[in-house]
């Protein structure tokens, strides 16, 4: 119960703040749009609309977005085609902003175009380009502020991982058994270094040895 009371108090304070913008528009600029006070009233109504929007009151927001747009456009009607170009450009752009909030994209596009034309008349190509960017972005979804994983992206990622694992396993062929190589170097050296066994004397040599011994030649 206490939380509900606190919530209602906070919401009432928020709406009271929004109502203050409406009251400011009426108190400071009157109930009707008269030149040039209607521009100030339009600014207060746009603040009220944004306040209601942020407070979750879509109905109140739409009411004052429309009222602000009407005041901006009515104010322009007091300024003839040969009048204050900068003021006309800014009001056309502001009216486009209000109508874009209402998702009236055709009307918003029209006023952004008029704003760009008026800015070019006053030698402000950068402001004209900004109005054109707003026009071209009407109705486009906003880019996500963070990375969001969808089920589709997860499925694609899983398939990629499976393919990578399969490719890795396929590339690993079993190693062929290498034949055991015997080192014959040691045996070869031993056979070379081992002294040759003495040969048995032949019968002829035995006879020669016997003669040398007999005659003292051995």
Tens of pLDDT, residues 91-120? 999 999 999 999 999 999 999 999 999 999
Q: Name the token pair of 119.
A: 């800015």
pLDDT at 209 over 90: no
pLDDT confidence of 2, banded at 50, 70, 90?
very low
Structure tokens that stand for 121 in this block: 């008349």
Structural domain of residue 35, as residue ranges? 11-78
pTM for the complete prediction?
A: 0.58
Whether 16 and 69 share a structural domain: yes
Same domain, 69 and 111: no
The span from the CA of 200 to the CA of 175, in Å, is 55
Higher pLDDT, 2 or 16: 16
What is the structure's pLDDT at 188? 53
Is the pLDDT assigned to residue 45 strictly greater than 80?
yes
Give domain status of residue 171, yes or no. no
| Per-residue pLDDT at 144 | 44
Q: What is the mean pLDDT of residues 146-164?
A: 54
| Domain count of the fold of the chain | 2
Least confident of 21-25, 68-72, 177-181, 202-206: 177-181
Does 211 reside within a domain? Answer: no
The predicted structure's pLDDT at residue 98: 97
pLDDT at 86: 81
Confidence label for 147 from pLDDT (cuts 50, 70 and 90): very low
CA dihedral 52→57→58→59, nearest 10 degrees, is -100
Which of 60, 78, 96 is at the close of a domain? 78
* Beta strand residue intervals within 128-214, DSSP E: none
Q: Does residue 196 sit within a domain?
A: no
What's residue 14's pLDDT?
Answer: 46
For the residues 177-205, what does the mean pLDDT come to?
A: 58
CA-to-CA separations, 186 to 179, 182, 191, in angstroms, rounded: 19, 10, 9
């Amino acid at each position: 119960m206490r939380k509900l009371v606190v919530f209602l108090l906070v919401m009432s304070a928020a709406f009271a703040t929004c109502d203050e913008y409406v009251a400011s528009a009426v108190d400071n600029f009157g109930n009707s749009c008269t030149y040039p006070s209607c521009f100030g009233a339009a600014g207060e109504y746009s603040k009220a609309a944004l306040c209601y929007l942020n407070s979750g009151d879509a109905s109140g927001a739409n009411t004052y977005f429309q009222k602000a747009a009407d005041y901006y456009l009515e104010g322009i009607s007091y300024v003839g085609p040969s009048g204050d170009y900068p003021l006309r450009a800014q009001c056309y752009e502001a009216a486009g902003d209000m109508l874009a909030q209402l998702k009236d994209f055709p009307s918003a596009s029209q006023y952004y175009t008029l704003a760009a034309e008026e800015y070019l008349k006053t030698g402000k190509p950068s402001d004209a380009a900004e109005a054109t960017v707003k026009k071209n972005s009407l109705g486009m979804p906003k880019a996500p502020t963070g990375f969001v994983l969808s089920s589709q992206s997860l499925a694609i990622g899983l398939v990629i991982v499976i393919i990578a694992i399969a490719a890795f396993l396929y590339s690993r062929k079993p190693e062929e058994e290498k034949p055991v190589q015997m080192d014959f170097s040691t045996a070869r050296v031993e056979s070379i270094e081992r002294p040759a066994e003495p040969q048995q004397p032949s019968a002829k040599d035995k006879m020669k040895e016997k003669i040398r011994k007999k005659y003292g030649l051995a």
